Amino acid sequence: MKSKTDAANTFHPMKIEEIDHILLNDLDAIKMEKDDERINFILQDSYCPDKHHIQRVYVIYKKSLLNLLEGRIRSIHSHEFISAKKKDRTISKEDIEYVLEMATVVVLASENNGILTNYFYSGVGERLDCMFNLCLGYSSDLQKKENKVSLQRFMNDIKIVEEMGLLEKF
């Protein structure tokens, strides 16, 4: 990504259905019902979006992906990630309570016809912020002089997601 003009033309607000595809296929997340009692304590967090606006809830639990989201592994294309992913075990939705303590729970919300307007995640995964900021889209407000820091942060998010090997998904 070379310039803010490229960013403005490339990163439009994404529909939750599009993000769903990324989370399920690229991050091997398990989709949960927002009424599932096992995750109820997470949805009660004061930073979590209002339950009426929550569209989807996911659990990311595989160690290789958590390490990627934490920045311990740099890219999905790295040898370290590929070998770690081979060691990951897959669990069923029924067994999710066994990994909730170490997993990252992702909550996507919309107040705008299925377009992502808010998100929340519990656990670790600082790089999720970068990914979801791209999903929220490039705002023309970023071009204002007083938002120079926000623009720089958005451009940095692009760079981090690109380093992770996931930019083409957005």
Residues 6+ apart with CB under 8 A from 3: none
Adjacent-strand bridge partners of 107: 57, 120
Write down the mean pLDDT value for the chain. 88
pTM value is 0.86
Of 64-73, 79-88, 94-103, 159-168, give the lowest mean pLDDT range. 94-103
Q: What is the pLDDT of residues 108-128, one digit of tens each?
A: 999 999 999 999 999 877 899
Note whether 139 and 4 are within 8 A (CB): no
Q: Where are the beta strands (DSSP E) in the chain?
A: 30-32, 54-60, 104-109, 118-122
Please report, rounded to a whole number, the percentage of residues in the chain having pLDDT higher than 90: 65
Domain ranges of the chain: 4-169
Note whether 134 and 42 are within 8 A (CB): no
Q: What is the pLDDT of residues 129-149, one digit of tens each?
A: 999 999 998 776 656 666 667
Of 6-10, 18-22, 48-52, give the lowest mean pLDDT range. 6-10
